Amino acid sequence: MPLPKWPPAISPSQLEELRLIATTYALSHGLLYLPPGQQQPPAPSSAIHAPFALFPSPFPRTLFTHAQDLQQIYNVLYARVASDTEFLDRVLSAETAVGRVDEFVGTLWKIWKEVRSEGLVQPLQLGIFRSDYLLHEDGDGMDIKQVEFNTISASFGGLSQAVDGLHRYLMASTGYYSCSPILKESNVPPNNTLAEIVSGLAQAHKAYLQSKLNSASNQGHPAQILFVTQPNERNVFDQRPLEYELLNTYNIRVIRRTFEELATQAHIQDSTRVLLVDTSTSPDPVEVSVVYFRAGYTPVDYPTSTHFDTRKTLERSAAIKCPSLALQLAGSKKVQAVLSRPGVVETFILSDRWAAISQDNPHSFTGEDVDGLRRSWMEMYGLEEEGAIEKARKDAQELVLKPQREGGGNNVYKGHIPEFLDGLSEKEREAWIAMALIKVPKGVENTLVRSGSEPVRANVVCELGIFGWALFGYESDPSTDGKKLKLEEGSGGYLLRTKGEDSDEGGVATGFSVLDSVILVD
């Protein structure tokens, strides 16, 4: 069915009252950013509310459920991809087109290879994922299509839950002035993103404590989780709720450090490779159980070779990495394109090989599950493939070009593609993929509220992100004298980002989108 005309009509006075109630709620409940362009002191002295949509946005109930159902398959898929060293080397190594041309990817792969050559001491990896979708409408009806799969710094777990609370409050306190029968509690899906992400971190922490690698607990000093963050992080109010939930629910403490700080404060014990971080509050360094990267996904995070050295130090350690370099590389756009080729994803989902080595693993999938994955993908291909450059030029108005980058603002769209290709060398082109543009439904509007500006009513596009996690790794199996893949996973919670339909990019932190929540429609 088509989406309803949106948003419902309200009077100017109702709009102003709704904005007042909403912004006050946002400031009172941590739906916040640090202000842009201001040098904050060590203790922040001011904050603004994060940008948000005044109404929840309509989303088909069946497609929302379909996106949730896909997440378990994606959790298992990317755990297996990250566990397949031969596959990742074949696609991304420094000897491949991507590794040679994309210096950032090539450098990460080289660090991973060096750590592997030395010998991995931590068999477990943790992934906190977010699979992003847009609604796609064509002659066959409406469906969801995947934009990308995020394996590092999948953000807005805290703030997505906060904006869900905002819309629930507006519904309960004002009823949205009875402007639409759709705006009722039964059409609001639960959003437990915070609890779900934290449960993954807690499971990894528990696994570390139970391993022989742990030493701190034996000395009466509990290990802690390390959050690796960017300097002057504006999105701190999205990250801190994870820290609070870890302490309140699981009694797990968190320390936050930038790469610059870790360059001098992080150390590895020679014999055990236990990761220790110096603090100013204790004479003894803190042992780290899990390294959770909220930085490190972009070349900007590595301005010097020292930053890459620090990443290598963390990767060499006995702490569980979220993500490991293998899992970060698995989330590259090139891997996404290769998985879409005929027969490739089937080797990870349906192959007897994975069934044979899975340990205590109830994850058994069918051809129908693979069909569901493939139905969520648009056509993708690498620009190094035969005839790809000519095809990209001819179909430019229907394409987007993507590099191996996260964080928003990196893609090239439509009419800009031919000129962009002209400026790239033949080798540079090999680091990009082309993806068919998703045809989003037209005619949906919402009122967008940004701090310090008047509300703006605009035609919008909504991008849905579904969160999940996986804790996995090979363990020795004495019964077969081989290795088994251990895997625990979970999913729950979502992010909705809404942007003006004329904006190609989708990042909230980069200023393109606002935070939103879903109202389900049939």
364 appears as a binding residue in the annotation = no
Catalytic residue among 497, 506, 507, 513: 497
Q: Is 317 a catalytic residue?
A: no
Q: Is 148 a catalytic residue?
A: yes
Q: Is 130 a catalytic residue?
A: yes
508 appears as a binding residue in the annotation = yes
446 appears as a binding residue in the annotation = no
509 appears as a binding residue in the annotation = yes
Cα–Cα dist 350/359, whole Å: 16
497 appears as a binding residue in the annotation = yes
Q: Are 469 and 200 in contact (CB under 8 A)?
A: yes
393 appears as a binding residue in the annotation = no
Structure tokens at 444: 């949906």
Radius of gyration of the chain (CA): 23
Cα–Cα dist 24/381, whole Å: 47
Catalytic residue among 407, 428, 500, 501: 407
499 appears as a binding residue in the annotation = yes
Q: Are 66 and 144 in contact (CB under 8 A)?
A: yes
157 appears as a binding residue in the annotation = no
71 appears as a binding residue in the annotation = no
218 appears as a binding residue in the annotation = no
Note every long-range contact of 301-305, with CB atoms under 8 Å and residues 24 or more positions apart, other chains counting.
301/230, 301/259, 302/104, 302/107, 302/259
235 appears as a binding residue in the annotation = yes
Catalytic residue among 384, 406, 430, 488: 406
Residue 120's nearest CA partner among 414, 372, 325 is: 325
Catalytic residue among 57, 75, 83, 150: 150
Cα–Cα dist 475/364, whole Å: 20
> Could you give the residue ranges of the DSSP H alpha helices within 234-343?
236-250, 259-265, 305-316, 325-330, 333-339
H helix or E strand, kind and range, residue 77: helix 61-82
Whether residue 42 is preceded by a cis peptide bond, meaning omega within 30 degrees of 0, is no
Catalytic residue among 93, 155, 289, 340: 155
Q: Is 113 a catalytic residue?
A: no
Catalytic residue among 145, 334, 402, 486: 402
Catalytic residue among 80, 99, 106, 130: 130
Q: Count how many residues are written for the chain.
A: 522
113 appears as a binding residue in the annotation = no
Catalytic residue among 145, 321, 333, 429: 333
331 appears as a binding residue in the annotation = no
148 appears as a binding residue in the annotation = yes
409 appears as a binding residue in the annotation = yes
Catalytic residue among 83, 99, 148, 513: 148
End-to-end CA distance of the chain: 7
Q: Is 150 a catalytic residue?
A: yes
Question: Which residues are annotated binding-site positions for ATP?
Answer: 148, 333, 402-411, 413, 435-438, 463, 499, 505
Just list the catalytic residues: 130, 148, 150, 155, 333, 402, 406-407, 497
Please give the annotated binding residues, written as ranges. 130, 148, 150, 152-155, 233-235, 239, 294-297, 333, 402-411, 413, 435-438, 463, 497, 499, 505, 508-509
Binding residues for Mg(2+): 148, 150, 406
Which residues carry a binding-site annotation for substrate? 130, 152-155, 233-235, 239, 294-297, 497, 508-509
